[in-house]
Structure formats: C-alpha cells, structure tokens
Amino acid sequence: MQVTTNSIETKVGPGEWFTGAVYIDLVAEPAGSFRISANSVHFTPGARTAWHTHPHGQTIYVTEGVGRCQHRGGPVEIIRPGDRVFFEPGEEHWHGAAPDRFMTHLAMLEVDDDGTSATWGEHVTDEEYDGNGG
C-alpha cells in the first residue's frame, strides 16, 4: 500500500494540448504493471483540448460545471455533472468547458506498452468548438 498525501501541485495544462487556461491535478499515474492514468482537469470558460486520440480509449466523468465534447465528424455534445463519456481507442476527439461556464472532469485511461497516453493533433478551431465544423 502507498499513501500519497495531498502534496502534488496543480499543473498548468500545456499550450500544445489546450486552448485557454486549463489546470490539472494528478489522481493516479502508471507505475510498474499499473497502467492507469487519471487526472482531475479544470477548464476555464471556453478552454478545451486540442484534437487527440488515446491508444486504449478514454473515459471522462464530469464532476462540475458544463462542458462540450465531440468526436471527429460528430455533433458537439453538451456534458454536465454526472455525465460519462467514453472515447473509443484511436477515436479523434476533444473536450472542454462551455463558453460561459467552468467545467471539471476526471480523465481516466490506460497507457500503452510504451507509456503513451495520447497522441495530440491540431487545436480545435472556434468554428469547430461552436459546432460549425469538424
């Protein structure tokens, strides 16, 4: 058993992966044969991920606020507390806050054999975010 006290600092989401201000709190990280990664991700209004994929898929669980998500070619979906979204392995997608609301979700996934959790693509345009493309 390993107990980690609440001493891990909140990290700023890197600009290569996000549009807008995003903050990440580590919940669980892969170690040894344990391959699960989990983060509590806090999006400010209008902030969002870039397009990306995960080798083994990803589940997000909204804990507060109102958000948006989309898979490539699909409609922009509105997500709220208690909503759970599963993105299939290799499915290109994005997720983030609504334009006028904060949104926090737990992001849970399994890394691949090389420790890769995601492959990042281009930033989501304002038109895609608004549901007018993608």
Q: What is the pLDDT of residues 112-126, one digit of tens each?
A: 999 899 999 999 999
Query: Where in the chain are the domains?
Result: 11-116
Residue 84 pLDDT greater than 80, yes or no:
yes
Decide: 92 and 121 in contact? Cβ < 8 Å: yes
Cβ count near 34 (within 10 Å): 11
**What size, in residues, is the chain?**
134
pTM of the model: 0.92
Decide: 19 and 123 in contact? Cβ < 8 Å: yes
Secondary-structure percent of the chain, ordered helix, strand, coil, rounded to 5:
5, 45, 50
User: Span 11-116: which CATH code?
Assistant: 2.60.120.10
